[in-house]
Amino acid sequence: MFPAPLAYPFIGGQKSYAGLASKKGVALTVGIAAAIIGSSFLIWYIPQSSPGTILGPPRGDNEVIGDVYTRHNDLATNMEMKFDQWKNNGTGSNDISTQIVSAKSELEQMRRDLNNHQPAQEWKESYSIYMRALDDYSAYLDAVESKVKANDRTDPDPKLNQEWRGLVDQSVAAMPI
């Protein structure tokens, strides 16, 4: 006949091991699995969300100033629209004041982007002029802020607007493209 079966713990259900899994062990296993899944997601997501910053090649002079130019023009258009809404009683003073503070913060980030990039010699003039344009736009925002604080629903001095726009045009003309 057949010999008696050996008592293997996982074969034949001889013993119950249901009580061996502690809460600490389960939590540790779940934590390790979450870390692996999270790190896999980050390895995929970071290059997708910020191309050229962490793993990509460095940005060229044209790309940096072009990005600042685009963001600056978007900001100026948005602020102009918000100021017009405020002048027409479409929004409150607190809303436009918050927008101005946010715009100044964005301007500082643009300045840092230009300052942190070391352009080639032929780009330095364009960068320098654009830095002045950002400074003049900041002065324009200060004038808008003064109008809002005084509840003066008229446009700021048009020369302020013309000055920063003229410097942007000069910067573009100085680009070695």
Q: Is the pLDDT of residue 3 over 70?
A: no
- Which three-class secondary structure string do you get for 24-82? HHHHHHHHHHHHHHHHHHHHHHHHHHCCCCCCCCCCCHHHHHHHHHHHHHHHHHHHHHH
Count of domains for the chain? 2
The answer on 68 and 47 residing in a single domain is no
* Model confidence pLDDT, tens digit, residues 138-153: 999 999 999 999 999 8
Q: What is residue 103's predicted lDDT score, i.e. its pLDDT?
A: 94
Over the range 94-109, which residues count as b (16 or more CB within 10 Å of their CB) and which as e? Answer: eebeebbeebbebbee
The answer on 45 and 19 residing in a single domain is yes
The answer on 116 and 70 residing in a single domain is yes
Q: What is residue 9's predicted lDDT score, i.e. its pLDDT?
A: 54
The answer on 84 and 38 residing in a single domain is no
The answer on 163 and 111 residing in a single domain is yes
Cβ contacts of residue 20 below 8 Å, gap of 6+?
Answer: none
Q: What is residue 132's predicted lDDT score, i.e. its pLDDT?
A: 95
The answer on 166 and 93 residing in a single domain is yes
The answer on 66 and 119 residing in a single domain is yes
The answer on 109 and 164 residing in a single domain is yes
Cα→Cα distances 132→29, 110, 172, Å? 56, 12, 13
The answer on 86 and 42 residing in a single domain is no
* Model confidence pLDDT, tens digit, residues 37-90: 888 877 777 665 555 555 455 678 889 899 999 999 999 999 999 999 989 988
Q: What is residue 43's predicted lDDT score, i.e. its pLDDT?
A: 78
* Model confidence pLDDT, tens digit, residues 5-49: 555 555 555 555 555 567 777 788 888 888 888 888 777 776 655
Domain span at 95: 61-174
